[in-house]
Structure 1
């Protein structure tokens, strides 16, 4: 119980620090490129193995010749032990449409803090997926750690800032 309280306090402080839900831009004058980043998170519903927090970290990269490529890295931090990776795919639920997304770079990393482990993977946000998100009223993610399914619903404010990132064009 103490571990859960400490994690809750940590997540609350993290949320209040305004690191999440804010689009950040980094310019590289040497490469004549620009990168937009956005990180959002939400907690899953509790399961027999506990709840998890799922982080979505969007990176949109531009150079002088591109319209922007969006990559999404996902990660979940959990108190649940074991070496269970994400499954090879996740599901995005955009309104009532369910989309199977194949993950790459699927891995797990142990930490020394409170027996936490971090599972991660990534995928590219295709043009079709961008259009679906831009027209969406809701966004949910179902991911699997081993055989356990976790459902995460993102808030309207998170969805709106993701839409903003998709539309945003930096000054190069």
Structure 2
């Protein structure tokens, strides 16, 4: 499994003095590596593009450069499916990633293309016409999923105590992500 991380997560705790941006970025990357190790039993790989959190590329030239990087990876790694966040997710970086991924999928006929809502699970917006919503029961993998979620200590605990505006997932949302089926959106063009 290959994961491409578009942004660096530096704004999860924007006012922390204990974890300034460079230290927070390193922590968030280490958490991602640990979660990947747990989910793939050490076989996964992460490529970090390093755009700032909430600073995913907006300019068409920058998006085209990311698209080209992804197309190169697909071609050289024999990738058969692309998974990305949903284009209607409330987080701007998630919408940007989905837009770039759509360009990639449209450029490679036969590439499987799947999107998933993250925060979009909690809004009223629906998939567009032609999309199909698939539910995957993750219950058999709940212990691995819990371990991977727990790997994100900066997001799940009070590890960073000096930023009252910092993001820590509340218990209800955490339980939802752990216990609810995984949701994937496919369309007839790339499934």
TM-score (norm 2): 0.29
TM-score computed with the length of structure 1 as normaliser:
0.31
Instruction: Using CA pairs under 8 Å that are at least 6 residues apart, name the structure with larger relative contact order, 1 or 2.
Output: 2
Compare the two structures and name the one with the higher helix fraction. Answer: 2
Larger strand fraction of residues:
1
